[in-house]
Structure formats: structure tokens, C-alpha cells
Chain A
Amino acid sequence: MFSSLRLSMSWLHTWFGLVLGFVLMVAFFFGSLSVFDREIDRWAIPQTRFAPQPMPSFDRMLLPILRQVQPDEQDYAANMPALHDASKGPMTPRLELPVDEYWAYTTHRDPVLIMGVGFGVPQPKDPAAHNHIHGNVTIDPRTGELLRDDQLKIGSGFFYPMHYSLHLKWRDLGIWIVGLAALTMLAALVSGVILHRRIWREFFTFRPWKRTQRSALDLHNLTGVVALPFHFFFAFTGLAIFAGHFYLPVGSTLLKPLHERHEVQEAQRTGLPHERAGVAAPLASVDAMVLEAKRRWAARDMAGQVGFLQIHHVGDANSFVSIYRAGSDRVALVGEGIHFKAATGAVLREDPPRTVVAQINEFLTGLHLQHFEHWLLRWLYVLGGLLGAVCIATGFIFFVEKRKQQHAAAGGQGSRVVDALAVTTVTGMVIAAVAMLVVNRLLPADLAGRGEWEKAAFWAIWVLAMIHAFARSGPVARSRINPAWREQCWAIAGLAISAVLLNWITTGDHLVGTVFTDTYWPVAGVDLSLLASAALAVVAARSLARRERCAEEVGARVQASDETDDGLPVTARLTHHG
């Protein structure tokens, strides 16, 4: 089909890049926002604007709360029928499910604490599987007060899952689509390098004064090459994080017998029971176990905050407590687990140093998930993610610019449609995200189901932006610029400034306060980023207006000379203009 390697790579780069570029745009943009997901949460839920807290007392605060947690209705409705073996009788009612697991998790950026209960399924289809119906809560660890669960954590609960799943939960479709997009990103990087052999020269080439097609390609190459290792690394590690569970679940399908044999051997070797014993037993003081874990970490000269605490087989003689160290001082996630017998508090096992393969894997995935404490690197991640977004967006623009004159001459609509979709996924997506923050500040504080309204607003506004992009796309069919680009830039500027003002009006937190007098960087950072976005959007809108006027004038001149001249079609003339 392709006569040369270059042609085959060019086809792959163009068409896979175009189709999955729209998904990549979402992954890169929301990935960049996810770097500061906890900070966006603080902005969106004002009563959680306080300093990060360590894990509170388990015995006195967490346990009484965990005992009140009920299985989530949605989780029960969605998963119970699939996990329960109907041949053994009717499903256990939701509120009668037995508790099997407790957990609590926090990081150095979390003022609030998330924790939850895994409820067992008494008659499972597959007894060896992880049969849990979950119930999760968020608390204020200073008082133990529950946070309303209809308050959406816009950063960690909406933007972050958007980054890797597009919120398409059906059969994990979104995760598969994003995975395909990540594979495409890797393939686009390799094929792009093959296409652009003069890679070193392109590194230093950006000619914004040239016509749009040329400068868009320059910027596409520049942003692609300058952050090539970053892009490759994130697409690769993103796939690696989900590979074992979603993309290549060999261990839970084809090689399940081998995996189960390993689990049983592992349980024997480590002394951490894989199954419940079926005999009831009490729970000793978990706070005492936490103290012992901290003492052991200190003995190994390591920072000793608890990041993750988990109690397996709750209430059973085989129950054990696993306490993991927070991963703020290194790249790998939680670790150095110490495991205690729940009934007595005796140490069962201390995790040995990780093996080389495990270290490599944790380093790779840890570098992607960045639970460590390093604010400069965090901002570099945002920069890298936005460079990726620029690379993809300029790819769209180059695609359109290269074809729109031919399409205009032939009466084709292809570039018009691609351009409108590009408007939707570039400016439209930013509008939807910023508008969600505006809506968050406008909705009454005590409105029931607040989070659902915010999500609905996000999708509705994105659809509106798409309708606007298509409705205004007519000029592209005449080889001009879609005015929707400029108009949506103004919308971003207006919305971003409104969000900052609304934050001030509704919470009293203004930038002078959050930066200088009563410093609170999470909120100040979001406000400042919104203002920077607004400034950038204004610059872009004004520059687009200039380009539109230029194109109008050139078009008008050509038309005027056409009328007096040889009658060549306008588009044939335009191709000769630079």
C-alpha cells in the first residue's frame, strides 16, 4: 500500500494523530490540571481550605466513623449482581453486607482525609476474586466531621478521572480509548522523528511571521521535539500504570491458575493470611501499631508519616493491619509496609527492600503519579503537559491549513469539520473547565446534588462551545479563519476573570490575602493560573483578529483584481499568496 517507509509513517502520523489527537488533547490538558488536583479541590470546596493534616488517631476518630459507613448504593446496584452467585440464593441486602476491609489514605497535599470500607459479598461467583462493594467517605481530620458527599472534588474527582477515562465508565471504554491514544502518541513520536530527519535544525526553527501553515508546523515540531522525552515517558508510563489490570490482564485470565498458586505461596511465605479464618476476633489498638511502625521507620532513618493504612479481613482471627509510609520524600508511591496481627498488635512482617524490577516499575509509575513533594518539578509537569497540548493543537492547525485551500477550491468540507472539532477540543475544552469553576461558585452552597449540577454544566457548556464552533465555521470553507477561535478566546478570558472575582465575592478570599496577608497557595495558585489564562487568551484573541483582518484584505484584493483581470477563481490566486 505504501511505497516507502516515509509514506507509511506519514500516513500513520497524519491520520492516527488526527483521529486520536482529540482524545490526546483531553488527556494532556486534564493531565496538566491533575498535577494540581488537590489544590483545585480546595478552590472548589471552600470549607476545606486549611493546611494538610497528618493521619489522625485511628482508634478514637477513624474507627467510630468507619463503623457507620454504609455500602454505596450505586456501587451495589452496578456490581452486586455481577459478583453474586444467583444459584446460591438471593442477593444479600445492601445494608446487611459484612465488613471485610477498612482503609484510610492521605498525602502531604491533603487537608481532608479519604477513607472507606470494603464490604464482602457472602456468596460470590468467584471466591478467589476481589469481591468488594465499597463505601467511601471524606472527613475533616481536625474534627472528624463528614464532608457532604454530593460536593464534587472538581480536581481529584472530575478533572483527574477525565484525564485517564474520559468519564466513559461502560466496560472501561474510556480507559481503553485513552490507552489507544497513548499508543498513538508513542507511534506519532516515532513516526514524527522518522518524518523529520533534520530534527536538530527544527529544534531552533520557529518563524511566527511566516504564514500560518508554516509557523504552525514549526511550533508543532518545536514543541514535539523539545519535550520529546517528556511526551514519550508520560504516554509510556500511563500505559504501564493500567497495563496489568486493564490492557493486558494476563494474570487474572489466561495465567490465573499460576497467579493463584503464587498468592497461596506468598501468603505462606509472608505469614499474611490470604483468606478469612471464619473465627471472630477483636481489634487491638491500631494507634499502638502506628507508633511501632513509625519507630521502625525512624530506626531506618526515614520520614515517618503514615500515607496508607489498611485492615484486611476485619473482625476475623486472620485479620491483619498494613501500615505504609507516605511517599513525599521519594518518587515511588506508598511503601515500606509494616504488617501487624490485628487481634494482638504483634508485628507479622516488615516488607523487605524492593527488588530491582519493582524499583524500576515504581520509579516509572511514581514519576507519572507524582506523590512526592517537589513544587518546581510539579510546575515543570504542567509546562510539559501544556507543551504536549500545543503540539497536538498545532498538528490540527497544520492539517487544516495544508488542505483548506484545496478543499475550498473543490467545495470539500473536510478541513471545515476538522477545524470546528479543533476549536471544540482546544478553546471549547478550556471554556468548559473554567465555566465549571464559575458554576461551582454560582450554585447555592446548600443545593442538594451540587456535584451533579456542576458535571452537567461542564458537559452542556462543552456542547454549546461545539455548536458555536460548527455554526461559525463557514469561513473555513472559503479558506479563511473560523472566527470561533477568537470569540472563544474572549469567552475564556471573561470566564477566567469571573471565576477569580466570584471566588472573592463568595468566600472573601482575594489574591492580596491568599498571597500576602493570609497566605494560602492552593487557592492563590488557582486564581493566578486563571488570570494568566485570561491574559494569554486576550493576546491570542487580538492576534487572531489581526490575522483575520489580513486574510480579509488579501481576499478582497484578489476579488477586486479578479473582477478586472482574467477571471481566475479566487482560490487559485490565494494559493500564490504567501
Chain B
Amino acid sequence: MVVGRVSAGLLGGYAFTWGFTALGIAGLVALGVDFHEAETGVLLLALLVFLGVFLWAFAAASLARVWLVLAGGGAFMTAAAWALQRAIVH
């Protein structure tokens, strides 16, 4: 059980943060914000997001829900960022 929580907090948390960062940057660039500007701002926020979801992974009642939100949300946001980038670059 402890292993489940730790891996959800670290791996799931990382996946979620990765997706958040990618979608945040791509989204802001789509809105016309400078790339490095978006990158800098989103990365600062992303660290706080990681801290939040990491703590939540331990505090939440249902581990299944934690995995669903973190891995699912991470995958969804990563895919959305990729699609958005395709739309911008092409």
C-alpha cells in the first residue's frame, strides 16, 4: 500500500505536472504569449502543482481515484498539448 502511495505521488504526480506544463505552455503560446515567457511562468506554477498533487496522493482516501486523476489527467493534457502544437506549427 505504501509503495502504491509513493509511486502515485512521485510518478503520477510527475506525469500530471508534465501534462500541465506542456498544455500550459502550448495554450499560452496559442494565445499569443512569447514562448520563453510562457515557459518561465508555467514552470514556476508547475512546481507548486507538483507539490500539491504529491501531498494529495497521500492525503486522498481512494488511491484508485488518485491514479485516475494523475495518470489520466497527465496523459490527456500531454495529448492536448501535442495536438495544440500541431495546430500552431502547421
Contacts and interface: CB of A to CB of B under 8 A. Distances in A.
Nearest to B4: A1
A369 B83 CA distance: 37
B34 A248 contact: no
B39 A250 contact: yes
Contact of B55 (A12, A244, A251, A357): A12
Given A248-B46, A258-B88, A357 B54 contact: no
Given A240-B43, A357-B40, A183 B51 contact: yes
Contacts of A243: 43-44, 46-47
- Chain B CB within 10 Å — which of A1, A5, A250, A355 has the most? A250
Interface string A1-32: 11001001101100000000000000000000
Given A1-B5, A254-B22, A364-B44, A12 B58 contact: yes
Contacts of A262: 29, 34-36
A255 B5 contact: no
B31 interface: no
Given A254-B22, A257-B85, A191 B55 contact: yes
A243 B49 CA distance: 13
A250 B58 contact: no
B25 A236 contact: no
- Chain B CB within 10 Å — which of A186, A248, A361 has the most? A248
B50 A183 contact: yes
B71 interface: no
A248 B24 CA distance: 13
A183 B82 CA distance: 27
Nearest to B47: A239
Interface string A360-388: 11001000000000000000000000000
Nearest to B51: A186
Interface of B is mostly: helix
- Chain B CB within 10 Å — which of A1, A186, A255, A261 has the most? A255
Nearest to A263: B35
A255 B26 CA distance: 8
Contacts of A187: 51, 54-55
A61 interface: no
Contacts of A360: 41, 44
A250 B39 CA distance: 9
Contacts of B36: 262, 358
Contact of B37 (A12, A183, A240, A355): A355
A361 B26 CA distance: 19
A539 interface: no
B63 interface: yes
A211 interface: no
Given A1-B1, A11-B58, A248-B18, A361 B44 contact: yes
Given A239-B47, A251-B35, A262-B35, A8 B40 contact: no
B17 A248 contact: yes
B14 to A, nearest CB: 9
A249 to B, nearest CB: 10
Nearest to B48: A236
Interface string A227-243: 00000000010011001
Minimum-distance CB pairs A-B, first 6: A262-B35, A243-B43, A1-B1, A357-B41, A8-B58, A361-B40
16 contacts: A2-B58, A2-B59, A9-B55, A190-B55, A240-B47, A243-B43, A244-B39, A248-B18, A248-B21, A250-B22, A254-B81, A254-B82, A257-B89, A262-B35, A262-B36, A357-B40
Interface of A: 1-2, 5, 8-9, 11-12, 180, 183, 186-187, 190-191, 236, 239-240, 243-244, 248, 250-251, 254-255, 257-259, 261-262, 355, 357-358, 360-361, 364
